[in-house]
Every structure is written in structure tokens, then in C-alpha cells.
Structure 1
């Protein structure tokens, strides 16, 4: 006869209870550990590193900045509040229906509170405007003073809103520009009247090239997607900065 394992209901029931109890104790201990770690982080780290802290334009860029900018930007009311609290002045942009697939709705235009955009007509989604304002204050200006010894007084761009597909192709997905969720940054105007442009200075081994790479790299901690001349020839003369799609820094 084949051997049969003895069946002991009381022992098996006790074992199940012990296993369940051990799991519950482990879960409680895990949550206690998480709570202690969160408390320590809350007291020792800056708000820019903590995802549960409110976003502020005046905070330095940190580990949680990009995620908080995306989250806050998704709420039009909260997004505008953060901009206003940070001293960024903006106006609402009227709804535009360029084509059936390209509707500009709920966009705004920054009018003060940061180095002005040139040309001034640069409608953006609120989350894109939020990211641009954070990047200008917390990445561009500090890099300009540190590397170039002066501030930036203007941002030259090739546009924010354009009803087109990626790379202007006849087929394929729409560009983030089709919803004003992107900005193509061409260059920077400096306080002494000089300029730094992506087209002419990206390959410069000196301060101008170092500055451009610093603001590109810093932008990767604010925007969802940042594309530069290192990405492909289509971006040889500008930095593409957007708040949509998949995270990409190149």
C-alpha cells in the first residue's frame, strides 16, 4: 500500500493561523518602516525631492520635480495657482480650432515673471508653461551666471503651437506642438547684448557649449521629453522641450 501522510486538522489549522499572523506582523512592520522613512525624508530632504510635497516654481529642481510638474500640470486650476504663487504672470489664450485634430483649448501665454520669450506669441498648455518657467528660473539662470557670468534676458524660440505631425510627415502621430504642449528653443539673449544659439554654439567646447549642455541636461529633470542636436539632425538648431509622451532625454 502507498504511504499516506497523516491528517491532523488541529495542527494544520494552528499552522495556518501562525502563517497568517506572521504575514500580518510583517506587513505592519513594513508599513512602520515606510512611515519612519517618510518622516525622516520629510525632515531632512528639500521639498523638491519629495513627491508628496506641493510643487513650487521657486524651489530648486530635484528628484521629484518632473513628476510633480506633470501631475500639477494635469489640473488646470492647480497649475495656474502654482504659476501665480511663483510670480509668473500669464493670460488665457482663446480657443483655436486649426484642424479637426488640433484644438488649442485651455492654453495660456506667459507675459511676465521670467525672461521673455521671443516672439511673444507662444501659446502653451499650462503644464508646458509651468515646466518652462521652472526651467528658466532654476536651470537656465543659475547656469548662465555660473558659466557665462551673467543672466539671460530673453529666450528665442521657433514656436510652441503648430498643427502638424511629428517632423511634419503626412502620416504618423501628431506632434506635441499640435496641442501647444512643446517649445522649440533656439537660443538665449544675454544681459551684455550677446547671444548663445543652439545652431552656432552647440559644438563650442568653451563656455557657450558648456552652458547649452547644462541647460539641456537640467531640462531633463523638468520636462518629459528633451531633444537636442545629439538626438538627430532635425534638432540641430534647437532644443525640443515638451510635457507629453514617454520620458526621453537626448
Structure 2
């Protein structure tokens, strides 16, 4: 008995291939339509601070995407300055400088719109200044009102720019301070005249210690690197905040 052969019908096979291709294209279109609908609904249901593709704003609370957006926005000097201005921050441009492995480019000094830095001549990269402004407005001030019932009217610091390597060593990678991309915060001056110092109040079991840890934890949500007295003895008297080091919160 002869073996059975499936009839060869080119027109049927061609029609089947077309139908398969059409089904694939329709499936892809439906998937992209679903993605678009989810994004559309997400942008209306999820606050901007949690969405990485929405513009950064100084007035938005800290969200899941704040750190990434601050780092990205800060790389574009014009965009960074625009966000500061839109958020009510004023600033003056700092002079560019270069000294061996140290350099300052496109730095600014904040002159208004937040509690002043003390001393006032703290030139920082725009990315660093943007992070400081967000931290001051969204973390520091609410924490101060919650703990003390007073605003912070001055942020004491040990400097932003310093031409040195990490820990002041003779060799090794440059510190973020060498490019004005860091700030060492020593204390917070309150409206009632009191000052909360990192050095003397970090281990305070009451409101002062709680406040300092709250602003440290908040800084970890904004800055790439946040170091405190909990990290090592070199940071016993300040909070190191920078936007260029490795991701670290300690």
C-alpha cells in the first residue's frame, strides 16, 4: 500500500503564513497599547517624585526617583540652573579654576531661597547645590519643625571645595571636594538661636540626636554618598554629602 502524502496546497500555506504574521503584529500592537495605557494611568495615579521620566522639582517631596533625577539633571548645567530658579533658589556664578588634579567648573553659590550656608562663600557644582537645596527644603526644615518647632536659619559647614585627595592622603583618588562636588555639614542653626552640632549632639538620646539621624537618613535619599559619625572617626564632627562618589549611606 502506498504511503499517504499530505496534499501540497501553496495557496493555503501562504494564507496561513499571512494570518500568522498578522496575528503577531496585532499581538505586538496590543502589548504596546497596554503599556501606553499603563503609563498614562500611572502618571495620573503615581506622584511625579516617584516617576523617573518626569521633570525634577525642588518643591516635590522626596520620592523613589528623586536621587536618580537629581543626578541626571545635575549633569546638564542649564537644566540644573533652571530647576533651581523655578524652585525659588537664587545664586551667583563662581569662577572656574584649575590646580593640578583639582578643578572647579560651572560652580555656583546659592544666595537665597533656602537657609543660608555658613560661611556663605560655598561654591559647589550645580548638581551638588541642587541636591543641597532639595535636602534642605524637603528633609531638614520639616525635621526641624517636627523636633524643635523652629526653622533652620543657617547650615554650618566646613566647606565644599578643597583641593585634596580622599582623607587628605598624599596619593590616591581625588576627594569629591577637589571638584566642589561635596559639602561637609557641621551643624544646624535654629530660629531660636540654638545650634545642633553633629560633633556634640550625634549621640544625644533626645530630640537633637533624633533630628540629626533623621536628616542623615533623608540625605541618603538625595545624595549619592552620605557619611556620618556612624561611618568612621574621620566623620565624627560632620555629615559628608556628595553627588559624585560611590553609592553609600553610613
TM-score, length-scaled by structure 2 = 0.89
Partner of 2:204: 204
Partner of 1:136: 136
Instruction: Give the distance between the partners of 1:225 and 1:15, measured in 2 at CA.
Output: 59
Instruction: Give the distance between the partners of 1:232 and 1:164, measured in 2 at CA.
Output: 19
Q: Spell out, residue by residue over 1:111-166, the C-alpha distance to the aligned partner (whole angstroms, 9 max, x if none).
A: 11110111111100001000000100010001110122111000000110011111
Q: Structure 2: 5+ residue runs without aligned partners?
A: 1-7
Q: Structure 1: 5+ residue runs without aligned partners?
A: 1-7
SS in structure 2 at match of 1:192: coil
Partner of 1:93: 94
Partner of 2:5: none
Q: Spell out, residue by residue over 1:200-222, the C-alpha distance to the aligned partner (whole angstroms, 9 max, x if none).
A: 11111111111111111111111
Q: Spell out, residue by residue over 1:82-120, the C-alpha distance to the aligned partner (whole angstroms, 9 max, x if none).
A: 1111111100001122x2211112101011111011111
**1:90-129 superposed matches below 5 A:** 90-97=91-98, 99-129=99-129
Partner of 2:42: 41
Higher gyration radius (CA): 2
Q: Does residue 1:56 correspond to 2:57, yes or no?
A: yes
Measure how far apart 1:26 and its partner are.
5.5
**1:167-182 superposed matches below 5 A:** 167-182=167-182
Measure how far apart 1:18 and its partner are.
8.5
Judge which range, 34-43 or 237-246, deviates more.
Answer: 34-43
Partner of 1:4: none
Aligned residues: 243
Instruction: Give the distance between the partners of 1:156 and 1:31, measured in 2 at CA.
Output: 52
Q: Does residue 1:164 correspond to 2:164, yes or no?
A: yes
Instruction: Give the distance between the partners of 1:195 and 1:83, measured in 2 at CA.
Output: 27
Q: Spell out, residue by residue over 1:199-248, the C-alpha distance to the aligned partner (whole angstroms, 9 max, x if none).
A: 11111111111111111111111111111111111111111100012211
**1:9-28 superposed matches below 5 A:** 27-28=28-29
SS in structure 2 at match of 1:34: helix
Measure how far apart 1:36 and its partner are.
2.4
- Going from structure 1 to structure 2, the CA distance change for 1:25 and 1:155 (only over 3 Å counts) comes to same
Instruction: Give the distance between the partners of 2:15 and 2:77, measured in 1 at CA.
Output: 55
Instruction: Give the distance between the partners of 1:208 and 1:133, measured in 2 at CA.
Output: 22
TM-score, length-scaled by structure 1 = 0.89
Measure how far apart 1:30 and its partner are.
3.9
- Going from structure 1 to structure 2, the CA distance change for 1:86 and 1:14 (only over 3 Å counts) comes to same
- Going from structure 1 to structure 2, the CA distance change for 1:236 and 1:24 (only over 3 Å counts) comes to farther
Instruction: Give the distance between the partners of 2:84 and 2:44, measured in 1 at CA.
Output: 26
Judge which range, 46-55 or 33-42, deviates more.
Answer: 33-42
